[in-house]
A and B are shown apart, each in its own frame.
Chain A
Amino acid sequence: MYVYDEHDRQMAAERVAQFRDQTERALAGELAEDEFLPLRLQNGLYVQRLAPMLRICVPYGMMRSDQLRRLARITRDYDKGYAHFTTRQNVQLNWPALEDVPDILAELAEVEMHANQTSGNCIRNTTTDQFSGVQSDEIADPRPYCEIIRQWSTFHPEFAFLPRKFKVAVNASEHTDRAAIQVHDIGLQMVRNEAGELGFRVHVGGGLGRTPMVGPVIRQFLPELDLLTYLEAVLRVYNRYGRRDNKFKARIKILVKALTPEGFAEKVEAEWQHIKDSPTRLTPEAVQRIQAYFTEPDYAVLDNATDLLASQRFENRGFDQWLTHNVDTHKKPGYAIVTLTMKKTGTPPGDVSDKQLEQIADLADEFSFGEVRVTHQQNVVLADVRQDRLLELWQAITPMDFGTANLNTLTDVICCPGGDYCALANAKSIPVAEAIQRQFDDLDYLYDLGNIDLNISGCMNACGHHHVGNIGVLGVDKKGQEFYQISLGGSSHHDASIGKILGPSFARDEMPQVISKIIDVYVDKRTEEETFLDTYRRVGIDPFKERVYA
């Protein structure tokens, strides 16, 4: 994992001092509210429905155990003793006091954490696959490139006041896309060209929100070392020509659509020709220097524990289910990737207490070289667990409520904080998630249904990624009443697609029944091998419509 050097430490400390000064000037009335707004947003601080909310950056989802412990302490000292894992691999505090935020940022900086650019119209946290570096089918480890992008985008003087927020995601696996790159402002797919050289396929202009779009490819192959100059060209074109007259039309996707992807690509290429050989062009040494931080941990030389696991599974059905659903194949023999689910029914998806944060830190130290990864599905991954210790781990996490074996099933809901916490929301999202989780509490039935992405957003801003849920739920406001609109057929994976709206919206208490009817249609229509999405794509939306609105 990346470790700060003296330059990073110095800039982190300077940033805290700067924000302390800005906060003092804001509290003294020297900064108008709208002048302070972008400054605090770019330090992670929202003012929400009930209190300020602080979004802390977890660069590409990676955290060390000492950082988790510090977060736990911060939630105790400055907040109400819990935190929330977001759909952007970040962590949020829901109740910090405005005047405490500089102190919180100083405490974070001590453990090499920050809240830089987690909000505001700037380049946000770069996200990637939570299985980076431990899966066998990746082109290369994407995390060094995410770190290179993080450094380039941090306090970038030209791009601090973009037309709108800007999100970059990197994916390196050939077969899966856990980073949902095609619904980002820039999606980078790592590829090798025919000569075997490393590079990126560049998607630009994907996104969710009001105008959901799958990002078109504007460059099939961008050589590795050209990464930053090309990003700079894309951002410069966007900064100069993106719309600023209408907030809802200000994302880069609108510009790409207006110019057409080809027209946009031409503008970027023209800009890039001027800067591609500038000193911002990466050097092999610079890449290697960052890569050196992401080397393999000190793995033991092991064989796969196939026989041991088989007998343990045989003796313990709960362990068997958990192994099937929450444990993934690791590139190293004898190791496994474990996902701790933060989705116990009755708890808001992604919420963790200070105690749980410390438990996760202890688990990371004990079982996974002291590191964890936060997923955009709001779960936590222990990436390097010995197979012969899986049973021990499972026994440890079951009483901690991290062992719900529902990963990727219908009840592994992605959900924004919604109207319970967020000032933007039209409707509550957490109670809908909970009602659906209660309706589908039979694990065997969930397993029979297979992988289904259920994504819930409390408003059009789509923090719950509802457009790309196989089943998407969007909270809407109808004359002051909370209603929920359903869309079907979305996907955030390699086969990315935007869901189609089913029809008129429903009241909250109708939602579990409606979801049941949708699931019933799938069960009736599916062939043996079909997932929910396969069936939907084959039969279309009409059978679902007929059943739900019958």
Chain B
Amino acid sequence: MPNVISPDGSIRQDNWVVVPRPAEGESLDIPADQPALIPADLWLAGYEHFTGRQDIGVWFDSHDEPEILDGRVNELPVIAVNFPKFSDGRGYSIGRLLRERFGYVNELRAIGDVLLDQLQFMKRCGFDAYVLRADKDITKAQKCLNFFSQGYQAATDTEIPLFRRRAS
């Protein structure tokens, strides 16, 4: 069961399973007794079957286009974004688009190569659940989420950039 970090640094456990993309010709291996995150395009392909299920969420890989879910994002209880390598920054754009453009309000989870020093960026880009890579010290997450008390720019967490806050 993954440990999931919240934006305030607190830690909880849940049992969402990330179902990998099946190989060509194979079908999705969804566990019977656990909530599952499946590739977003496959959720869409099986929409009739999956819609309305609170135990099925989706995940995007960093090269995927979140645009495919436009208009349907809030039908999902959880959307995850995979960071295949911590230095792959595409997931930050995906996070902001899901929140700020498509109006997604439920849980946005960072999965994959999620390290302590990237948490602050994920938080600002709309992620509110982080599954830290297993070998990292989860007790340091709270500190690493809170090095900065503010930012210069608008992002998902602050709609108003500093230059507008200064003016008021």
Contact = CB atoms under 8 A, between A and B. Distances in A.
Interface in A174-194: none
Contacts of A240: 90, 93
B163 A282 contact: yes
Contacts of B167: 283, 285-286, 289
A155 B166 contact: no
Interface in B131-160: 137, 140, 143-144, 147-155, 159-160
Interface residues of A, number: 43
Contact of A151 (B90, B96, B162): B162
A239 B166 contact: no
Nearest to A237: B93
A77 interface: no
Contacts of B92: 157-161, 239
Contacts of A157: 92, 120-121, 123-125, 151, 153, 155
B87 to A, nearest CB: 5
A160 B89 contact: yes
27 contacts: A5-B166, A10-B149, A11-B148, A11-B151, A14-B147, A15-B148, A31-B117, A38-B87, A39-B117, A148-B163, A151-B163, A152-B152, A155-B148, A155-B151, A156-B153, A157-B120, A157-B123, A157-B124, A158-B92, A161-B88, A161-B121, A239-B92, A274-B101, A279-B154, A280-B153, A280-B154, A289-B163
A121 B88 CA distance: 10
A278 interface: yes
Interface in A1-43: 5, 7, 10-11, 14-15, 17-18, 21-22, 25, 30-31, 35, 38-39
A14 to B, nearest CB: 5
Interface of B: 86-90, 92-93, 96, 101, 115-118, 120-121, 123-125, 137, 140, 143-144, 147-155, 159-164, 166-167
Nearest to A286: B163
A18 B88 CA distance: 21
A353 interface: no
Interface of A: 5, 7, 10-11, 14-15, 17-18, 21-22, 25, 30-31, 35, 38-39, 121, 148, 151-152, 154-162, 228, 236, 239-240, 244, 274, 278-280, 282-283, 285-286, 289
A102 to B, nearest CB: 13
Contacts of B164: 279, 283, 286
A157 B122 CA distance: 7
B117 A22 contact: yes
Nearest to A19: B147
B115 to A, nearest CB: 6
A10 B88 contact: no
A10 B92 CA distance: 25
A158 B125 contact: yes
Contacts of B137: 30
B130 to A, nearest CB: 14
B152 A155 contact: yes
Nearest to A159: B89
Given A157-B153, A236-B93, 10 more contacts: A7-B162, A11-B151, A21-B143, A21-B147, A155-B151, A157-B121, A157-B124, A157-B155, A158-B89, A283-B163
